[in-house]
Every structure is written in structure tokens, then in C-alpha cells.
Amino acid sequence: VSFNDLPFSFSFAPMCVLNQVHPNLVSQQEALQYVEELILQLLSMLCQAQPRTCQDVEERVQKSFPHPIDKWALSDAQSAIEKRRRRNPLALPVDKIHPLLKEVLGYKIDHQVSVYMVAVLEYISADILKLAGNYVRNIRHYEISQQDITVAMCADKVLMNMFHQDEEDISGFPLMDEEPSANEEQSYYELVKSFMADCRQYLRQLNLIIRVFREPFNSNSMLFSQHDVESIFSRILDIHEVTVKLLGLIEDTVEMTGEGSPHPLVGSCFEDLAEELAFDPYETYAQDMLRSGFHEHFLSQVSKPGASFHLQSICEGFKEAVQYVLPRLLLTPVYHCLHLFEILKQLEEKSQDDEDKECLKQAITALLNLQSSMERICSRSLAKRRLSESACRFYCHQMKGKHLAIKKMNEIQKNIDGWEGKDIGQCCNEFIMEGTLTRVGAKHERHIFLFDGLMICCKSNHGPPRLPGASSTAEYRLKEKFFMRKVQINDKDDKEGEYRHAFEIILKDGNSVVFAAKSAEEKNGWMAALISLQYRSTLERMLDTAMLQEEKEEQMRLPGAEVYRFAEPDSEENVVFEENVQSKSGIPIIKAGTVLKLIERLTFHMYADPNFVRTFLTTYRSFCKPRELLDLLIERFEIPEPKPADANQTEGGEQPPSAELKRFRKEFVQPVQLRVLNVCRHWVEHHFYDFERDPLLLSEMEDFIASVKGKAMKKWVESITKIIQRKKQVQVSVPSHSITFQNSPPPIEWHICKPGDTEHFDLMTLHPIEIARQLTLLESDFYRAVQPSELVGSVWTKEDKEIHSPNLLRMIRHTTNLTLWFEKCIVETENLEERVAVFSRIIEILQVFQELNNFNGVLEVVSAMNSAPVYRLDHTFEQIPSRQRKILEDAHELSEDHYKKYLAKLRSINPPCVPFFGIYLTNILKTEEGNPDFLHRHGKDLINFSKRRKVAEITGEIQQYQNQPYCLRVEGDIRFFENLNPMGDLSEKDFSDYLFHKSLEIEPRQLRSAPRFAKKYTYPLKSPGIRPTSARPGTMRHPTPLQNEPRKISYSRIPDSESEGTPASAPNSPRTPLTPPPASAASAASSSTDVGSVFDSPQGPSSPFHSSKTRPLTLTLSLPTDIIERIECDHTTLFAVFGLELWLPVCCPPVRP
């Protein structure tokens, strides 16, 4: 049976499985393809039995799969068949594998059999990815590679037996690259992250002790009384509780750390628990574990009548794991407590915050008695033990640095004479232990090196080297080696033979080797290591199963929805999630929901979602007012406690009400309240304009923050209060340019007018470089001041636009006025020579705009040149040097082909820059108008949050270019451009008519040569050029590429027909409010891709746009008719809706002859 050359790939399916088992990890494509290969290998093996029924598949699995994975895989397959009729529970593509099975097997196979087989494959793929994910998390990485999967599988006997039954050794991974030394000095934050990772692994060890080992004792009261259980496991439950609490506090602290803080301040987490004496159970636990006679008492309990059979019945090897692994595993909390004292000292030394340092000092002081007691207890019993003893690190078996393990293995290999075959580091991942054992029968002593994949037996080397070229300094000579996945470990009772303290290694061919230790303690150490290697994958799978089952059974009861509206269960009537879409963190993405559900997920108790917080605070004003949001957050914060009767039912009566209430406060109340405060902190930090516009809102926020009590909340209250105070002190003023740059800004360039001669400042008297620089500084300030909230909901088109979009409107009006000023400068210069000079000067300014990456300025000039009064000046264009005409044409090309060249240019330039805002406005407008505000579900309207997310993505693109300022000097006198008013007191129509009449006056129609006019300038017209007096060094970096190309903008040509007797009236320009088209025309246009240009001139003789020489391009916007009809037709609003001629300019003239 062959599955080579498949017509499809389902490597996406392992990714879906990975999202289920490790939602916080990602995987490389090569790793997913490797898992796919393993799945197909397994499918081929199942098909070799020619299965026709589910029973055939089951028999094949039982025969081929190692125990106990066969039992669990079949259980999952049976569950998949039972659920198939309701929904498809599988991630692997049954619909693709089913026809493939028909083709390969050569006969029709029942679909249910295919589902059964695919379910088995999915269980195995989940097992592989879960194992690899655990390994990746152990080494503190976040991405799974193919090498990680190979390494993890090599350490798992069950999977190795399944996929590599006949191979002698596996060398699927090379030696690891060097990593930072474990002893390398760490910063405070690195210490915190390292301790959090250690705590998570330690918590899993505690869960292993409690859920896997303690449960069989606790569940059989006939064999083990409650006193018996406590005598073995002591206060392990209390230790588990304090560990969960400490890890939760640290995680919340790290999550809530402000951007300005040097590092998370975790000192209070330790101080609070130390003052509560929460760590005291460690002392009692250490006394119980290390008391004399504990081991004898333990053995008497596990060997009492009936106990051995009970433990053996749980699974194969469980009795041996209890007898040898559990006693060493029970020492883990003792070592962790000693490690805790060391961590506190290191954190105190590294802390950069005085208050945090004091908290750590107080915690250390509060724990001094416990530390002295622990050290006294351990000094008597653990003096001969090493903290790094492998048997005591059952779960956390990875060394701190992989390169240290490789180095250790290489040293051992060099010290063995006669080594043959592949290096130890190629088939092993970890060195476990070494020591001397006696081989029973031959009565020879052997020095044993135990690795996770090999057991190497050596003889002390007293003679010359056995092989030519071998080192004569080697201490040992190789005798034999055993692959751990190919052997079974059998305990030998002292009564069974002449040697005591013996154990047997049974090979796959049936032969066996017996080794004996010198003492019972030595034997226990070897058996603990060997049994843990043999059965740890089984025990870990048992733990995963137990944790999953517990999670299903123990659901925390919340207050009723009648007293707490946010406790309403999820349903299709209140929240909808994106199908088959998850963020990288594995958090479900909300598509739509009620306001209550959005607030609930914004402050969800199970996870934090920073992306959702950012998007929500950017877009919420489109469906909720700021005061309503604050009221909802306060309501969310004030959580009523569940009724005692409810709490009693939660754990089936096993937990007293106080314990369940404690769990409710810790796992629900505290996370929710912290996340409410986190939202408030982000709100005042990044969206303080909401509070500037509404002083009452600010007062309510301050009152709420002041009312928050509790030590855990204190630091967050102080943080928010400080932010509010800082924001209130900031005076709204001209944007500051007191920024320190690596290089000094270039000096101000002057031309005819010198500093102070402000009365004569004009286009021709100022240096073109400095005009472009000052305009760029001004427009950069305007661009960087635009807030995302000014764009969401197209508020710049609404009646209250002045309140909600002041910065955007300021930029729009500046752009409008500057473009009109350029037009006015041209048409009011009557003399042709002077007009050509003005025209050339404006093109020079355009060139400097291009050098400064001021795309907004470039398109302002292009728009002015394309305006009706300027574009028709053929005689002027003919006098423009060809080089400058080429520059203008190149600038025009930026807007061609849906702004393709502009977008490519934007992605390639070095910031700072001033992007062209019109594309963003158009994209937002299309998104807002093309998607409904609400989704109708089961008779209810849900807020369409996916629409808000799309808008937030666009505003995120805008913000990418708002961070980098220009290294230029502000010349206050030249900032008169900020107050340009070219229209004066004229209305828009009157001014437009004035410009066009002036254009006709200086270049009447159908004249072969331009009329002569007197000169108006008394100073030289020669340009100073655009080369600065001193070169400015560039110190800027490339910008982050935009993630999504803005939506496309299409064009349509204006038909060219012009009658000679056209009256001299101003045409409709892009700045002229247009009458909405008839409904019939609008409906007809809406059926096509391009609705029709809102900038199109009227057809026929009244359009002076048309020329016999050229046909200019105009922009087509695909907008619904209703938005055109409901827009107030004033100058600013209409410009804003259609992006303005300045935002979406008419293209520059084609090449003129």
C-alpha cells in the first residue's frame, strides 16, 4: 500500500490539531509536513490489514500499537463515530482521505470505517504535537520545528516503538547550536520569566503527584484510609494551592506592567503570600518526607495485601512507578522551596525599583524562619544528595542549556575506549546518571552511563587502547550498550537469587542481563531513573487525560444572569465567533456580539487579549458612548458572589462553601477586576481625548479608580492615577519639536527674503527647499496628530465632525488651502515668463517633497497642476523645461494603476514620511459603507465587530508612520502656511469662478500665442536651486511594510468633446459640491464595477476640461447612492467624503508635445 505522490496535502490539518493541544505555540511548515508524513506512514500500516469494518481496524491497532496508546486511540475513534451525525469532530480531512482509501485498497470502503481510521490518525498526531509542544515549552521556545518533534519522539518509548520498531538507533537531529549558558547573569525580567516557566513545570509535577499518583490511594478507602494518604502525601494539596496562587499573581503582574516600567514589579506577590504564612506547609511537608522511617512506612503501604494488585490494575508499570519514581518525585517540593529562597535574593539584587526592592526584602525577612527550618531539616537528610539528581527531576528532565548536555555527552564518549557507531549526542537528548553495578553471573563490575536513549556498560580501562588511534587516557572500555526503547526493566526480589538489590534488563530477543547494586538505596536510585525513562510518556498521558477530565467535570459556578448580566452563557443570540479563524495566541476571534458580550470578552477571566483591547478602544465609539462604556466597566468590576447553595453544588459537595468561594474569587473575580483596570489604563493612556472632551467622564473615572480597594489592586490604581495626572498637566499647544536627534538638523535655507522680512515672504522670495521643509514639518504634525477615533465610523462626514475629527479636518483644510494657493499663485501671475518661473518653482518644491518622502505634498502639487484653471494653460506648459515636465509626469505616475507605484514607494522608503491620507479615507469609507453595522441572528441584532476590526487594521497602518519625526528646524516665520486663506471672503463657487476666469484671461481659448502682460515682480526670477548649502546625513531606518495593501481605486476617462463657443463659466471641479445622480442612474451604475466618476464633468459644450490635445484621467469612487444623498453638501464635508481632489487627485496631464 503506497500513499506517495498524493494529489493533495493536508499539512494544514496538523496545524488545526496543534491549535487544540497547544494553542499558544506555532509551528514551522517543515514540522507540519513531517507530522503529515508520519500520519501517512501510520495510515499505510493500518491499510496493510485490508480493513473492511471498524472491528478490523480495531484489531490492527491492538496488534500494532504499543500499550497503552492503543486503548486511548480506539477510545477517541469510537467517540468520533458517535459524534459524527451531529457535527464533524475531526480536524483531519475525512472527505479527502475516504476516496483515497478506495483507490489504494481497490475496493469500496464504508465511510464510517474511514472516520474510524482518521480518528485514530488524529489522536496520534495530537499525541506527537502535544509531546513536541511540551518539549518546546520546557526549553522555553515558542515555535515547533521538525528537529523538536524528532528530539521529543526520541525520548518517548511508545512513539518510537510505533514508528521505528526495526531501526537500531535514530539520528534524526544534529547537535544543537550553542545556547546562552545557564550560569550567565540574568536581568530582573529574565529572572521573572525564568521563574514563571519553572513554576509552570513545577505545577505540572505537583499535578502529576496529585492527579496520577495520589488519586489511586485516595479513591480506594478500603485499602488506604485518609490517614494513610496523608502520611504518604502530607500537605501536597496546600503546596499546590500556594503555587497556583503565586503563579497567578506573577502572571497578572507581568500582564499589567506599564510601558514605562523598567520591569514587572513582582515583589508584592511574594510579600503578600509570605505575610499570610502561605509557604508554611513546606516545613511540615519537608519534615514528613525526610523523617527517618518514611521510606519503610511507604513500602509497607504499597506492599500491603491487595495494594499491589490494585496498583497493577491501573496500567502496566504503574506499581513499579509508585514504588520507585514516586518517592523521588515527592522530594520535588523540597528542592523547589530551597530554590525559591535563592530566587528571592537574586530578584532583590536585580530590582531597579525601590518599592519593589523593599517588598522583596520584607518577603525574605518574613521567610527567614521557614528558610532556617528547611535548611536544618535538609542538612540532616539531603546532605549526600545532589540538587540536580535526575531521579528527582522526573518531569523537568531537560538540562538548563542543551549545549551543556551535548558537552557532557561528548566528554563521556571521549572517555570510553572502543566506542563505535554514531555519537551519543545523535541518539540521546540527556545524560541521566552514572555509577558502578555488578553484572550477575559473570560477577564483573561494570561502570554504567545512563542516558535517556542509551545505557552504556563499560569496564575500567587498565590496559592499552583496543583500537588503533584510540586515546590511551580513556578511563573506560566499552563492553555493551542497550537502546532504552528496546528493553524492559524487571524488578528482581531479593529472595529470588543469590544477589540482593538486583534488577533485570530484558532485551527484545528474549535474552536478559541482571545487574546488582551495592545497597538498597543505590538500587532505588537506578530503578527510579530506569522506570521513569520507561513509563514517563505513559504517566504524562495519564496526567493529560486526568486534567482534561477534571476540566470538563469541575465548572466554576458564576452568579446568575439575573444579578450579573455578564454571566449570561454564550449562545448564537449574543455572540458569534469567526469560523476556523484563530489569532496566533489561540484566542477565539469575535465576529459579532452584544455590547455586554464584547465587554465580557474584553475583560475575560480565562485569558488576556491585548489585540482585542486595542481594537475595541479604537472603535467602540461607533456603537457605544464613552460614558456608557465606563458604566459597563464599573458594572463588570462589581461582581456579586454566588449564593452559598450554588457553591455547595459546584464540586458535588466535596468542597466546603468557603473553599469554592475562595476559588471563585481567585479564578474569576480577581482576573476580571485586574483586566477591567487594565482596560482603564489603556483608555486613559492612549485615548485621553475622550476625557478631555467630557470633564464629567474624567471625574467619574477618577471616582471609580479611587474607590478600588485591595492590596492586589493598589499598584494598578496608582499607575492609572499617575497617568491621569500626567495627562492633565500636558497643555494643548503647538506640537513640540524639542526632540533629540543623533545628527543636528540642517540650517535654514534663505533666498531673496532674509529672516524677519515677513512682509515680503512669498512663493518666489523664499527658498524652495525651506518652503518644502516647513510645509513638510507642518503636514507631518497634522498627520501625526490624527487619532484613530477620528476615522472610525466615518465621523469626519457627520454633523458633529468638528468635535470628533478636529485633527483630520485641520489636515484636510490645510491641504485644500495649499492646493488652492498654488493655483492662485499660477493664475494671478499674468506675465508668461513670470508664470513659467512660478510653475517651475512649484515643481522644485515638489522635488523636495519627494526627497523628504512627503507624499501628501507631492499629490497636493499634482492636484493643483491638474485643476481646471491650471491644466488648460497650454502655452505655460510648453515653456516648462522638459526635465521638469518629466518630474511632473513621474509624480503623476504615483497615482496610476490603483496607486501601485505609490504603495511600492511607501514600503521602500526610509521614515520619516507623510503618507497620502486619501487612500486610507477611501478604504475606511468603503469598509464602513460596504459592511452592515449589525448582524441579524435569531431575531436579534449583534454588533458587527469584524467590520470594526477591519477599520482598526487601516488605522493601524496609519499609525505605523506616526512615530518618526523629521530632523528639521522649525522656522516660526515661515509657518504662515498654517494660516493660509487663499479664498478670502469669497464663497467656494465664487472663488472657483474667479480662478477659471483668471485662467481664461491670461490664456484665452484658441490663441496661438499667449497675450503679453506687464511683469509684477521686481526681483530676479532665477531659482536658487534645490541643492542645500550643507549635506544632511541620513540616519533613518526603513519603515515596517504595510501588512495589507489598501483597497483598489479605479479610474475612468472623460470623453473629449468641446464646442468652440463655450461660455466662460467655471466647470464642476473636484472641490465643487455635486448634485446626487437620479435614482435610476445610481441603481444602474451600482451594478457595474465602477459606479461612475463623482468628478466627471458634464458632457457636451459646457465642459472646458476637454481639450483637443489630451484627455485627463479622473478618479472613480464606488460609493453607494444613499451616502451621497445624505451628505451635507458643504465644502469640507463633501471633500472629506470623496477624499477630496487633494486626497484623490485628478491625474497629471499626459506627456505634452
DSSP letters, 365-405, are HHTHHHHHHHHHHHHHHSTT--TT-GGG-SS--S-S-HHHH
Beta bridge partners of 33: none
pTM of the predicted model, to two decimals?
0.53
pLDDT for position 19: 67
Mapped onto helix, strand or coil, the DSSP state of residue 543 is helix
Rg (CA), the chain: 38
Q: Which region, left, alpha or beta, applies to residue 441 given φ > 0 means left and ψ of -120 to 50 means alpha?
A: left
Dist. CA 318–CA 312, nearest whole Å = 6
What contacts 103, CB < 8 A, 6 or more positions away? none
Phi, psi at 483, each rounded to 5°: -80, 125
pLDDT at 734: 42
CA 69, chain centre distance (Å)? 34
State how far the Cα of 162 lies from the Cα of 635, in Å rounded to an integer.
55
How far apart, in Å, do the first and last CA atoms of the chain sit?
Answer: 73
Cell numbers at 1022, concatenated: 532665477
The CA dihedral of 929, 934, 938, 940, to the nearest 10 degrees, is -140
Judge whether 529 and 433 are in contact, CB under 8 Å.
Answer: yes
Residues 6+ apart with CB under 8 A from 630: 697, 700, 701, 704
Asked if residues 797 and 1127 have their Cβ atoms less than 8 Å apart, the reply is yes
Pairing between strand 940-944 and 1050-1053?
unpaired
For 828-862, letters b (16+ CB in 10 Å) and e give: ebbbbebbbbbbbbbbbbbbbbbebbbbbbbbbbb
pLDDT value for 656: 42
What is the residue type of 329? L
Q: What does the block give as the cell for 203?
A: 505545577
d(CA 713, CA 707): 11
Task: Give residue 1109's pLDDT.
Answer: 37
Scan for cell 521557614, then name that residue: 370
Q: Long-range contacts made by residues 408-412, C-beta under 8 angstroms, separation at least 24? A: 409/451, 412/449, 412/456
How buried is residue 231: exposed, middle or buried, by Cβ count under 10 Å (0-12/13-18/19+)?
Answer: middle
* CA dihedral of 398, 401, 406, 407, whole degrees rounded to 10: -130
Query: Which residues have C-beta within 8 Å of that of residue 109, sequence separation ≥ 6?
Result: 51, 52, 98, 101, 102
Angle at 818 between CA 817 and CA 819, to 5 degrees: 90
Domains for the chain: give ranges and CATH numbers: 12-163 (1.10.20.10), 188-392 (1.20.900.10), 404-518 (2.30.29.30), 565-729 (1.20.870.10), 761-1027+1040-1143 (1.10.840.10)
Q: At what angle do helices 236-256 and 670-686 cross, to 10 degrees?
A: 10
Indicate left, alpha or beta for 1127 from its phi (over 0: left) and psi (-120 to 50: alpha). beta
Block mean pLDDT (10 aa), the chain, length 1153:
48 65 74 82 79 82 72 71 51 72 77 81 82 76 79 72 58 40 67 87 91 91 91 92 88 68 81 91 92 89 88 87 91 92 91 89 93 88 47 41 72 86 78 89 86 88 59 79 86 73 87 90 90 84 82 77 92 85 66 95 88 92 94 96 58 48 81 94 92 93 91 83 89 51 82 80 90 94 91 87 90 93 94 93 94 94 93 92 92 84 87 90 90 87 92 89 88 85 91 94 88 87 83 40 33 33 37 34 34 30 33 37 37 36 39 43
Distance CA 336, CA 709 (A): 33
**Cα of 767 vs its chain's centroid, Å:** 48
Residue pointed to by grid coordinates 485627463: 1112
Question: Between the CA of residue 1030 and those of 63, 260, 770, 919, 1026, what are the distances in Å?
Answer: 83, 38, 13, 35, 11
| Contact yes or no for 838/824 (Cβ under 8 A) | no
Distance, CA of 1064 to CA of 570 (rounded, Å): 67
- DSSP H or E segment with residue 1142: helix 1140-1143
Residue 232: closest CA among 246, 207, 215? 215
Which contacts (CB < 8 Å, 24+ apart) does range 248-254 have?
Answer: 248/666, 248/670, 248/671, 249/273, 249/712, 250/192, 250/195, 250/196, 250/199, 251/196, 252/670, 252/671, 252/674, 252/712, 254/192, 254/196
Give the position of cell 523664499.
766
User: For the chain, percent helix, then strand, then coil, each to nearest 5?
Assistant: 55, 10, 35
d(CA 668, CA 661): 10
List, in sequence order, every residue forming a beta bridge with 970; answer none if it has no partner: none
